[in-house]
Amino acid sequence: MVAHGTPLNRLVAVDNGSTDGTREYLATLPLGGRIQNTQNLGCGVAWNQGALALQSEWTIIMNNDVLVSPLWIENLLSTAEKLGAKVISPALIEGPLDYDFNHFAAEATQKMQGVHRLGGRHAVCLAIHESVWMDVGYFQPVPKLLGFEDTLFFNELSKSKIMTAMTGASWLHHYGSITQTAMKQERGLNAKDGLANRYNYKLLSQSWLERKINKLNRKAQEKMWRTNEVAQYDMSIHGLRENGEFRWI
């Protein structure tokens, strides 16, 4: 964000109990706010703290393990307003940074700026309009949810029929779940183990069949998006970096 001129006075950094020098680094930046939790209070608590600390028409919630591209905010919000979306996520590449992201992002933004997945979204980065807080509320501030907060929030968006989107007009690189990987190691879990409580799904108040159908529909929609994008552009707006190559998803 520093490299691309993102206005840091509009950025609130929420530190969820780090012990590795992060706080000392954040103290050197002209941020709009710093919130230092004494322990990891979970995503929902931290996201709410940041959103409430610097309220605005649009709030962007994003992970700590991402890189941004030039004009990422401007392109993201202008696209949301053009589409009429109240929640929007940028396109992203996930995995190791073994390629020139700045060069890639410049070309991808130009090529894919008119590509949108209406109904798409992801929790790596979310631009949320202020009306959403009033319509569905904030994130559930329960630390033991351990990453299930986004699923619950998306479920509320769907129930309220709030339009979401993912756009190729703005790009991020996401290294991928660095914090959750560390938390799994702290708890003695394997990389493939789920971090969240296995019974969190009960909070959705959905039957097994309803959850199954929703998942199948979501996977089918993602496949259709990917197939159409790759057929037309030879790429999609969501990719994985594996063995030095892009895999489009």
Give the pLDDT band of residue 144 (cuts 50, 70, 90). Answer: confident
Find out whether 57 and 130 touch, Cβ atoms under 8 Å: yes
Mean pLDDT of 12-21: 93
Task: Please report, rounded to a whole number, the percentage of residues in the chain having pLDDT higher than 90.
Answer: 77
At 85 the pLDDT is: 98
- Which tokens sit at 234? 């030879």
Render pLDDT for 146-205 as a digit per residue (tens, 0 to 9).
888 999 999 999 999 999 999 999 999 999 866 666 665 665 656 565 656 666 777 778
**Torsion angle (degrees, nearest 10) of CA 229, 74, 26, 104:** 40
Region for 248 from its dihedrals, namely left if φ exceeds 0, alpha if ψ lies in -120 to 50, beta otherwise: beta
Nearest to residue 139, comparing CAs of 75, 59, 216?
59
CA distances from 242 to 17, 93, 98, 178, 192 (A): 32, 10, 9, 17, 17
- Does 3.90.550 match the CATH number of domain 56-248? yes
pLDDT at 87: 98
Mean pLDDT on 20-32: 93
SS3 call for 60: strand
Mean pLDDT of the chain: 91
Q: pLDDT at position 183, please?
A: 60
Place of tokens 């940074």: 97
Measured between alpha carbons, how far is 1 from 10 in angstroms, rounded to an integer?
Answer: 11
**pLDDT band at residue 24 using 50, 70 and 90 as cut-offs:** very high
SS3 15: strand
Following DSSP, what letter does each residue of 129-184 receive, concatenated? Answer: EHHHHHHH-S----GGGTT-HHHHHHHHHHHTT--EEEEEEEEEEE---HHHHHHH
Report the pLDDT value the prediction gives residue 220, as an integer from 0 to 100.
95
pLDDT at 201: 73
Structural Rg of the chain based on CA atoms: 18
C-alpha 73: how far from its chain's center?
13
| Per-residue pLDDT band at 128 (split at 50, 70, 90) | very high
Q: pLDDT for 27-84, tens place per residue? A: 999 999 999 999 999 999 999 999 999 999 999 999 999 999 999 999 999 999 999 9
How are the residues of the chain apportioned to helix, strand and coil, as percentages rounded to the nearest 5?
A: 40, 20, 35
Say how many C-beta atoms besides its own lie within 10 A of residue 60's C-beta. Answer: 21
More confident: 234 or 178: 234
The residue extents of the domains of the chain are 56-248
- Note whether 37 and 46 are within 8 A (CB): yes
pLDDT confidence tier of residue 207, bands split at 50, 70 and 90? confident
Q: State both tokens at 138.
A: 């904030």
Mean pLDDT, residues 211-240 taken together = 95
With a CB cutoff of 8 Å and minimum separation 6, the contacts of 88 are 76, 77, 79, 80, 121, 126, 127, 164, 165, 166, 167
